[in-house]
Amino acid sequence: MCNIFICFLYSSYQANIKSLKFIAINEKKGRKMLKELSLENKTDVELYNKFLNGNKEAFNQIILRYRKVLMSFLYRYVKNVEIAEDLAQDTFLYMYINKKEYDFKYSLKTYLFTVAKCRAINWIKKEKKNVKVEFDEKYMTNNTIIDLDESLIKKEDIKVIYSAMSKLKTEYETIIYLKDFQGMSYKEICKIMNKTMPQVKVLIHRARKSLAKLIKKEGNI
């Protein structure tokens, strides 16, 4: 009887130990989730300052926040998903190594796009002729803001617009993407495109005009 009682106590002890381990593991996961959630709610400036202070989770959160939109931007230049992904990773790596370079004068998105554009241009000069150009609607439509002429939006399915955009020259497609799909200011676009304000305004006008002509030429209006 005594042995049975001892066995019962031992079994109960083991069960309690397992329960405590389970609770500890879940508490650890819970703390991690709460930490990640708290970072999700931080502004770019707050995240970057944490990153500057050595917080690796803040750097990971920046990647999660901008990876897709950065790849979508790069896709305008290289027209290849794998290359866009490689260049996006290279952009984040550059930011990680040169983290003190960002001076907060522009938005973090503007800074990342500026760095990414340099990498895309360098890649085009060296490698573009050796890589197959592809069309991937997923990366053409990964945008959040639409600000094209209202008459064009009313008459055209947005996917048709994306398709027509892919046939524009890179400079036109990129500037429409920045202004009309990312909602960036003229000042931010000047920084990314390395152009003056008058040049950007003229370029946006010409790009939109070319897009409308292209769609009309294809008989979609």
- Pair (42, 119) in one structural domain: yes
Choose one of 123, 141, 159: the last residue of a domain. 141
Choose one of 109, 124, 141: the last residue of a domain. 141
Q: For residue 139, give both structure tokens.
A: 């990366």
CATH, residue 134: 1.10.1740.10
Number of domains within the chain:
2
Model confidence pTM above 0.85: no
- Pair (156, 94) in one structural domain: no
Residue 184 lies in a domain: yes
- Taking the C-alpha atoms of residue 107 and residue 184, their distance in angstroms, rounded to an integer, is 10
- Pair (199, 209) in one structural domain: yes
Predicted confidence pLDDT, tens digits, the chain (221 residues): 555 545 544 555 555 555 555 555 555 555 555 555 578 899 999 999 999 999 999 999 999 999 999 999 999 999 899 999 999 999 999 999 999 999 999 999 999 999 999 999 999 988 765 554 444 445 444 444 444 454 444 445 677 787 888 889 999 999 999 998 899 999 999 999 999 999 999 999 999 999 988 887 765 55
CATH, residue 163: 1.10.10.10
Nearest to 70 by CA among 46, 95, 92: 92
- Pair (137, 147) in one structural domain: no
- Taking the C-alpha atoms of residue 117 and residue 26, their distance in angstroms, rounded to an integer, is 43
- Pair (153, 185) in one structural domain: yes
- Pair (48, 136) in one structural domain: yes
**Structural domain that includes position 191:** 143-221
Query: In this structure, are residues 117 and 91 in contact, taking their beta carbons and an 8 Å threshold?
Result: no
- Pair (99, 136) in one structural domain: yes
